[in-house]
Amino acid sequence: MDRLTAVERALRAATPNALLDIVTAALMEQYGAARVELRLADYGMRSLQAVETVPFSTEPVMIHDSPQGRAFGSQEPYVLPDPDGHAVTVHFPVTIRGDRMGVLSVTMPEDRYARALIPEMQHICDVLGHEILVAERDTDLYVLARRAARLTLAAEMQWQLLPGRACSRPEFSLGGHLEPAYSILGDNFDWSASAEHLTLTVTNGMGEGIEAALLTNLAVNAMRNARRAGLGLADQACLADQAVYAQYRGAAHVSVLLLRFDLATGEVRAVDAGSPRLWRLRDKQVTAMPFDAQLPLGMFGDTPYTCEEFRVRPGDRLLIGSDGVYDTASAAGEMYGERALARSLASTRLLPPPQVPGAVLRELATYRGQTPLDDDALVVCLDWNGRS
């Protein structure tokens, strides 16, 4: 425990850009590590990119076909012996409150390796993840490691707007993903969890490029401002509606689905103001949740919004998709939301929520065939566990 405390203290005292150097030195000194490598998942969730001072100097490894990807996907340490080299490499997931960041790979001589060390070293990875999250306020090192290609300005704005890509608490687990990851336009999602409630919003701003990103930024921050002022769900929509109308005078609008979960009871309040739609998987049955359609934000500036209510049960899975998902057509002209989305939700029921959006979007790419994606595609998945 003394060496564990020593590593934690060293990480917390490190400068933001030196976290990998500090954890490497500590693992070498305390655990006899011969090599340490940190890789972070790219924005597309397809590859793991090395954290290094010179970007792209080390080849990425694919998430779906690598030992590192196995640890990342399973969220369990993956031990890879090398008898010829008399060494053992352990790939550790680096995850913060359900948000999967990457993998730390530690290679050590086989005579220094012991399975009893794995929980201790996994704890170090958890501490490293927290420190990376804090360090990102002061350095671009870890943000640069997440990109396999250059982002458009609109995509840069949209990714910076997100609270994360996943979140987990005893009552729920959720994950979301956007495509195309490096040139997204107006789709976005946001969440906030308090002691008693989870607020989840999914938005789709009209337009293209920087105009769509600016519109979505305005709407999301207006809803955050209203939420942080203590306003209810309907009033959050009203304030955002006024803010968008004041800026665009009805020339642009934002579609949004707002949800507020009571963590103790599972009661949900919803405001459906546009295109994002919700499906529920309960007892192997997929149901499209019907809401009364209300006007998108910003069309008139004085639109009254009302809440609807429903209840989630422990074991329920909810999936929210943008129109870029359910309106995508196959080669035969059938929309993905008609039947294929329900099949995809049922077939991915054994995957954890952070992995479901990527799986659905990969299936969507196969579904549309050679047809290029002409709109953002957003998927958010939430598993409801309830409060015991």
* CA dist., res. 312 & res. 120, Å (int): 37
* CA dist., res. 335 & res. 331, Å (int): 10
In the three-class reduction of DSSP (H, G, I as helix; E, B as strand; rest coil), residue 291 is classed as: coil
Each of the 388 residues of the chain gets a pLDDT tens digit; together they read 588 888 899 999 999 999 999 999 999 999 999 999 999 999 999 999 999 988 788 999 999 989 999 999 999 999 999 999 999 999 999 999 999 999 999 999 999 999 999 999 999 999 999 999 999 999 999 999 999 999 999 999 999 999 999 999 999 999 999 999 999 889 999 999 999 999 999 999 998 889 999 999 999 999 999 999 999 999 999 999 999 999 999 999 999 999 999 999 999 999 999 989 999 999 999 999 999 999 999 999 899 999 999 999 999 999 999 999 999 999 889 999 999 999 999 999 999 999 999 999 999 999 988 776 767 899 999 999 999 8
- For β-strands 254-262 and 197-205, DSSP reports them as antiparallel
In the three-class reduction of DSSP (H, G, I as helix; E, B as strand; rest coil), residue 139 is classed as: coil
Quick one: which of 11, 27, 32 has its CA closest to 132?
Answer: 11
Amino acid 1: pLDDT: 58
Prior bond to 180 cis, omega within 30?
yes
* CA dist., res. 43 & res. 364, Å (int): 18
Amino acid 4: pLDDT: 87
In the three-class reduction of DSSP (H, G, I as helix; E, B as strand; rest coil), residue 311 is classed as: strand
Helix, strand, coil percent values for the chain (each to nearest 5): 35, 30, 35
Region of 291 on the Ramachandran plot (φ > 0 left; ψ -120 to 50 alpha; else beta): beta
Rounded to two decimals, the pTM is 0.94
What is the Cα 316 distance to its own chain's centre?
A: 19
What are the CB-based long-range contacts (under 8 Å, 24+) for 189-194?
189/162, 189/320, 189/378, 189/380, 190/161, 190/162, 190/163, 190/220, 190/223, 190/224, 191/163, 191/167, 192/163, 192/224, 192/227, 193/167, 193/169, 193/263
